[in-house]
Structure 1
Amino acid sequence: MSEAITRLPAISFLWPRMLWLLALVPVLALAYLWLDARRRRAAVHYPALKTVGFANRGVAGWRRHVSPVLILLALTALIVAISRPHALLVLPSRIETVMLVIDLSGSMRAKDVQPNRLRAAQQAAKGLLEAKPAGVSVGLVAMAGTSAVAQAPSRTKQDVATAIDRLQPQGGTALGNGLLIALTALRPEATEDAGRLMDGDASPLKKRGALGNPFGAAGLGQGASPGAGQGGGQNSADQEGAAAPGSYAAGAIVVFSDGESNAGPTAVQAAELAASYGVRVYTVGVGTTQGVVLSADGWSARVKLDEAVLKEVANTTGAEYFRLEDAARLKQVYRAINAKLTLGKTEQAEITALFAALGAVLAAGAALLSLWWFGRVM
């Protein structure tokens, strides 16, 4: 029961003093009961009133109380409405573009997930593509030692699916570069900052106040709220024009990777820059933490899923991390991601109109029922 209560929207009031008017409701209820009792006593003491139909209305039983009760409920709703209630609601997202980033490094050939990491990532990406909301464009970035846009954002599912199927394993891993390429495709105004970061210049992070975890030492996963940094860090970011992490509602990035990287800027640096532009980066870990020994071209190495990096990328940008262990969980993963993309952030929304409409409906219902049963409005 307590869990169900916690899911209810938290309601606050812009004009809470108006709620004192609710004290009128029980007063009016008592006045109605007093008048009804007086009317019944009058009908008993003055039988002649039956000739004018006064007492006949008393035999209606419970029906004669319905309209007054509805009026009292309508008054209650209208008083709440003029108090201007606000509620914390999860509003539909205005998301327009999703950039998929798929890791093509050699470690993605490992078979600790079936049929292998890359194939599982491709299947998950295509599942997400099929479940995308109508009107959302999807683009694709192929990420290995170098990264490039394999498919510009398109609303045509077949174009993107074909581009996903064409992906093949390559050498090297530059996860940070892949994230930056996706960021510039999503937000072209980030191109200059991303280019400098790819060249090894960290000044864009300092300029936009993006160094360190934007959520402070606690991190998003430990209860910190987006945009709640420590000390003056957040104010500094605001002064430099940095957006709050996760505030960009028109697009998001989804990364399918095992988290390993050996070239370019770090994934966390790229995530910090994305966070400064308000872009969320959802990460999907492909592989197992135990890993497997992968042999190719005369070398052997154990390749593991680096969950720590992928979780930090997601937390830094106000997004979420998902783990993909095997093909059987593909549907569960892309449904969860799609749900996150479809729903926007929790925001305070005024719900005055809801209570005003409820009051109007109750008042109209009271009038119509009274007219139907007794031939008068009240």
Structure 2
Amino acid sequence: MSSFFSNPWYLLFILVVIGLGVFYAYIIRARKQRAYRFANLDLLNKVAPPKRNRFEHVPIAVLLVALVLLTVAMAGPQADRKVPRNKATVMLVIDVSRSMNSTDVAPTRIKAAQAAAKKFADDLTDGINLGLISFAGTASTLVSPTPDHNATKVAIDKLQLADKTATGEGIFAAIQQIKTLNAVLGGDAAAPPAHIVMMSDGKQTVPDSLDDPRGGFTAARKAAEEKIPVSTISFGTLTGTVTLEGEQIPVPVDDASLKKIASLAHGSFFTASSLDELNQVYADLQKKIGYEIRRGDNSRPWLIWGSLLAVLSAALALTLNRRLP
């Protein structure tokens, strides 16, 4: 119970409230018994007329409820609330391989990805350090984690496409940036929580195996070891194509590998096949990353309702019974 109330012993006061209710019932019963002692029924009818106020007990009932609510308020009820994070680190890792030039997502995958990523940077809470890494055949750190989200937006506009897809390198680079920032902030124990958000559209091509020492699955395991969740977004469709050297080449999304990366790194997996869907994915991530659940005092509503009912009880007593309860 202590996890729900900061001072649970105050709840014992409810026993006093119950005692008041029992005492009130006893007084009413004793009053009737005294009335029946009169031998003259005519006089009895005058003292205790049969047509009594049906609502005469409402004020005391309302008062007892008010006292119960005020007792709960005294016990300090606790509740979980979603509050913006004061500090956190987020690394955006964006695929810039040639397949991102596919037009299956209008106007192109890369243009839609840039628009959605900038909106994500705009919506992210101010206390979060945001960084940006792009990856194709290699990974490039474009922005180290910083609370200046505008720097990330400027870099997003300058993303350039390149050959190949080294998924693991993108994750490893993000881990390194987070570790570097954590060292500056006093070590992993003192550092704020971190999260990697990776958006890709295709299958890893460098190295051949995802389980290679520099592969995507290995990088995901490393992130899990460092307690850094990696959420992945599979962006595009199964029918996407790009034109390379005059030839149409299929570039379908690779949901399976991206889903396993998220699973290995204890993150979330998302799919998106349009700009609107991608914006919704980023919005969901923003809610997850930009806020945290904190348990705090929740006595205010109990105090308000208890006070209102106490006032209502007095008003009803004066209106119905012409006296306070």
Interval of TM-score (by shorter of Structure 1 and Structure 2): 0.7 to 0.9
For the Cα contact (< 8 Å) 1:71–1:362, is it kept in 2? no
Relative distance call for 1:58 and 1:308 in structure 2 (3 A) is: closer
Alignment of 1:37-56 (within 5 A): 37-39=29-31
Query: How far apart, CA to CA, are the structure 2 residues paired with 1:59 and 1:90?
Result: 40
1:214-257 deviations in Å (ceiling 9; x for gaps):
xxxxxxxxxxxxxxxxxxxxxxxxxxxx99xxxx8622111111
Q: Which blocks of at least 5 consecutive residues in structure 1 are unaligned?
A: 1-10, 48-56, 192-241
Query: How far apart, CA to CA, are the structure 2 residues paired with 1:302 and 1:293?
Result: 4
Instruction: Specify the alignment match of 1:354 in structure 2.
Output: 298
1:72-104 deviations in Å (ceiling 9; x for gaps):
4444x279x49xx877x4654635222111111
Deviation at 1:19, TM superposition (A): 8.5
1:307-330 deviations in Å (ceiling 9; x for gaps):
111111222222211212012323
Instruction: Specify the alignment match of 1:184 in structure 2.
Output: 176
Residue 279 (structure 1) aligned to one of 228, 247, 267: 228
Deviation at 1:277, TM superposition (A): 1.5
Deviation at 1:167, TM superposition (A): 0.6
1:249-284 deviations in Å (ceiling 9; x for gaps):
622111111142122511121111111112121211
Instruction: Specify the alignment match of 1:200 in structure 2.
Output: none
Instruction: Specify the alignment match of 1:319 in structure 2.
Output: 267
Query: How far apart, CA to CA, are the structure 1 residues paired with 2:70 and 2:30?
Result: 25
What is the RMSD computed on CA atoms of the aligned residues? 4.3
Residue 252 (structure 1) aligned to one of 195, 206, 220: 195
Query: How far apart, CA to CA, are the structure 2 residues paired with 1:281 and 1:122?
Result: 20
For the Cα contact (< 8 Å) 2:136–2:162, is it kept in 1? yes
Query: How far apart, CA to CA, are the structure 2 residues paired with 1:105 and 1:119?
Result: 13
Alignment of 1:88-237 (within 5 A): 89=80, 91-92=82-83, 94=85, 95-188=87-180
- State the one-letter code of the partner of 1:327: L
Residue 250 (structure 2) aligned to one of 291, 302, 307: 302
For the Cα contact (< 8 Å) 1:93–1:341, is it kept in 2? no
Deviation at 1:40, TM superposition (A): 6.0
Instruction: Specify the alignment match of 1:67 in structure 2.
Output: 63
SS of the counterpart of 2:203? coil
Query: How far apart, CA to CA, are the structure 2 residues paired with 1:365 and 1:90?
Result: 25
Instruction: Specify the alignment match of 2:21 in structure 1.
Output: 29
Query: How far apart, CA to CA, are the structure 1 residues paired with 2:33 and 2:312?
Result: 25
SS of the counterpart of 1:187? helix
TM-score (norm. length: structure 2): 0.72
TM-score (norm. length: structure 1): 0.63
Query: How far apart, CA to CA, are the structure 1 residues paired with 2:180 and 2:32?
Result: 77
Deviation at 1:112, TM superposition (A): 1.8
Relative distance call for 1:120 and 1:295 in structure 2 (3 A) is: same
For the Cα contact (< 8 Å) 1:310–1:321, is it kept in 2? yes
Relative distance call for 1:45 and 1:131 in structure 2 (3 A) is: farther
Relative distance call for 1:333 and 1:72 in structure 2 (3 A) is: closer
Q: Which blocks of at least 5 consecutive residues in structure 2 are unaligned?
A: 44-52, 208-213
Deviation at 1:137, TM superposition (A): 2.7
**Greater Cα radius of gyration, structure 1 or 2:** 2
For the Cα contact (< 8 Å) 1:367–1:377, is it kept in 2? no
Deviation at 1:118, TM superposition (A): 1.2
1:133-188 deviations in Å (ceiling 9; x for gaps):
23323211111111111122333343222210111111121111111111111222
Relative distance call for 1:18 and 1:287 in structure 2 (3 A) is: same
Query: How far apart, CA to CA, are the structure 1 residues paired with 2:138 and 2:218?
Result: 17
Relative distance call for 1:41 and 1:187 in structure 2 (3 A) is: farther
**Count of residues paired in the alignment:** 299
Query: How far apart, CA to CA, are the structure 2 residues paired with 1:101 and 1:319?
Result: 14
Query: How far apart, CA to CA, are the structure 1 residues paired with 2:276 and 2:70?
Result: 52
Residue 261 (structure 1) aligned to one of 204, 222, 234: 204
